[in-house]
Every structure is written in structure tokens, then in C-alpha cells.
A = this chain, B = another copy of it.
Amino acid sequence: MTLILSNEEIDQILTMEMALDCVEACQLAVEADEAINSPRVDTLAPTKFGETDGVYGLKSMSGLWPAAGVAALRINSDVLIWPEVAGNIRRDRLASADGRWNGLMLLFSMETGAPIMICPDGYISRMRVGAANGLGARYLAREDSEVMALLGTGWQAGGQLMSHCAVRPIKEVRVFSPNPENREKFCRELANRVDAKLVPVESAEEAVSGADIVAAGTNSMSPVHQAEWLKPGVHLSAVKVQEVDEAFLDSADMAFLFSKNPATTRPQLYKLPSVETPEGTDGWWFKRDEPFWERLGELTQLLTGATQGRQNNEQTTVFVNNVGQGLQFAAVAHKAFQEASARGIGHELPTEWFTQDVHP
């Protein structure tokens, strides 16, 4: 049988602690040559959704984890746009599929090749992105961090909230997004997810000033904070480098990426001049020189202890979760599969619906 899980069912069984453990374990496995992150493939071309000019993108990423006996493939098929909101360019995905988004996760058994689980990617992806940032914070944020600023109130912001609260004793989270309704709604809806108090605030500066941890989980393609707002001892956590103020990254005492050499292929571009948009919003860091890159560490160095994390309460630190990898999906989805199977959650469909009687 093949287990079909909904986002809501995954939400019910997958805790941030599980996601933190899974993402840590699979990164250590890659480091020990005990798992594979296969190259991610992005294919982009101009498209038109109704009257809206956008970019169609097909993305797939896969990974294989022998210790768990599984491989996973995650698939996104999206119409991307880059609107200007409150003075910033955002990267957004249209709800072009009848008001919904596409995103699928297939989990395969390495023993039989059969798909053992199929589910949407939304909840799993939010948890594994959040977990990677949470692991960074575990090594880089002050242990006594109590005040957190959360910039952004979209899907990824929820993961950032949960993961940072899971690794540090956060008491208050100051939540900012340019739209007042969005920040009120976010605080209302996510209040029961964490013990910390969620407080909507009216500006990014108000959120960030005095915060021990600043977490950005936005769609912004330009910095969402200014270096001078940040105090000594702060940890800045971002889901993409474009969110980070270049001056702050340059001045930070320690700066880490998820990976400096991620398993990706060169994006396949059809009539598009740059990786992400017709305007070329690859991010400022692609223009930086060798010394800039050499200064950056990677998450795995922290996990293995090869590089020590924060050493005192005055250091400023940065973690940028610059890339998602297929193995994270294999690890987190496998955990969800185990939990759901043990607890009888989800629906089963005959595996033969997804297999065939010919030898392709």
C-alpha cells in the first residue's frame, strides 16, 4: 500500500524537534558519505497566467538515505512573479492552479522501488527549512536569547518561528510585515504553536531593535533590515541571502551558510537572461570576491564541531539557509511516514495505482 498524507495530517504528527533531528542527522550522514543529495534541477521559461506575465518553473530535488532505506523526490511546478511590495521586490508564486499551489513529495522504498508515501510538500518543506535555520541558531545564537524579531508573516515565517523557539528560551517574538492585517493574522494563528508571546509591531526597526535573534522568513529580494539596527550579540537568521544587509554580513563576527557547494545544476533558462528573473535578482553576493566567500562557514562544520559556534555574548552571528536539498525531504518525510504508520494516520491507496505491469 502507498500512504497518502495531507498537509494537515503531517502537521498533526511532525514536530519541530523531529525536523531538527532529521535535518541534523541527514547533514551528518552526507558529511560521512552515508547519504546522497542528488543535484537539484531548475527549469525556467517565460509564461503568461491570464493577463499576468510570469516565469514558469519546474523544480525537482532528490536524495537517498540508505540508513532509512528510502529515497525521495520533491517536485514544484510554479508560476513565479516578482512584484514590488512596500518598496521591495518580492519573489512570489502565483496561486495559478485554481487558486492553489503545486508541490509534491514522493517517498520510495530502496528495497522494492515502490512509492511508499505521496504527499504535498508544503508542511514538510516549512519544517525542514525552519529546522535548518534552527540548527544554525543552536550553535550561533546566545543561549539566553529571549527576544526574537520575526520579519515576514508568510509560509516560511511560521517555520522560522517554531524552530527558533524550539532551540532557545524565547519569551517574546516581535512580528513585522508591511501589511498590518497580515501581522495580526499571523500572531493570532500561530499563537498556540509556541510558548512565546507574539507581538505584532509596526516597523522592521521596531521588531529588530533589542532583539537577541532576528529571523527573516520573507519573499523579499532586498534586505529587510539595516545593519545599524542590530545590537552586539545578535544572531541573524535568514532563508535567503537577499534578505540580509550586505554591510551586516560583512561586519558580523561569524557567518555561515547552509552550504557553499550545494548539489544543484545550472538552472536551465529558456529566453531568460538570469537565474531568477528577467531583471537579474540573483542577489548581491554573486558579485562578491573570493575573500568574502572564504570567510563564510557551512552548517555541517558546526554540527560536527569542526568549527566552534558562538564563543561569547558579544559576537554578532549570521546563518543563511541558502539552499534546499532533496535529502532533507527524504529524512523528514521518512519520519512522517514512520509516525503516521505507527499511529494509523493517513489513507492508503493500492501501490499498483502507481506501478505498471510492463518493464519500462
Contacts and interface: CB of A to CB of B under 8 A. Distances in A.
Given A48-B111, A49-B111, A102-B114, A75 B73 contact: yes
Contacts of A100: 351-352, 355-357
A39 B36 contact: no
Interface in A143-159: 154-155
Contacts of A122: 356, 358-360
A88 interface: no
B360 A110 contact: no
Nearest to A41: B38
- Chain B CB within 10 Å — which of A56, A104, A108 has the most? A56
A241 interface: no
A285 interface: no
A77 interface: yes
B62 A71 contact: no
Interface stretch (A89-97, A185-193, A301-309): A89-97
A58 B49 contact: no
Contacts of A66: 45-46, 270-271
Interface residues of A, number: 68
B39 A58 contact: no
A359 B95 contact: yes
A360 B121 contact: yes
A102 B354 contact: yes
Interface string A41-82: 101011111000000101010111010010101011111000
A272 to B, nearest CB: 11
A98 interface: yes
Work out how many copies of this chain go into the complex.
2
Interface string A333-360: 0000000000000000001101111111
Interface in A283-320: none
A265 B61 CA distance: 13
Given A101-B356, A268-B38, A356-B100, A111 B71 contact: no
A125 interface: yes
Contacts of A139: none
A69 B123 CA distance: 29
A220 to B, nearest CB: 15
B79 A113 contact: yes
A7 interface: yes
B96 A114 contact: yes
B101 A64 contact: no
Nearest to A61: B41
18 contacts: A7-B356, A33-B270, A36-B43, A41-B60, A49-B111, A60-B62, A60-B73, A73-B75, A77-B114, A79-B112, A97-B352, A98-B114, A98-B351, A100-B351, A100-B352, A102-B108, A122-B356, A126-B358
Given A7-B356, A43-B71, A101-B360, 15 more contacts: A35-B270, A36-B43, A36-B45, A49-B111, A60-B62, A64-B268, A66-B271, A76-B360, A77-B108, A78-B113, A97-B351, A101-B355, A102-B113, A102-B115, A103-B356
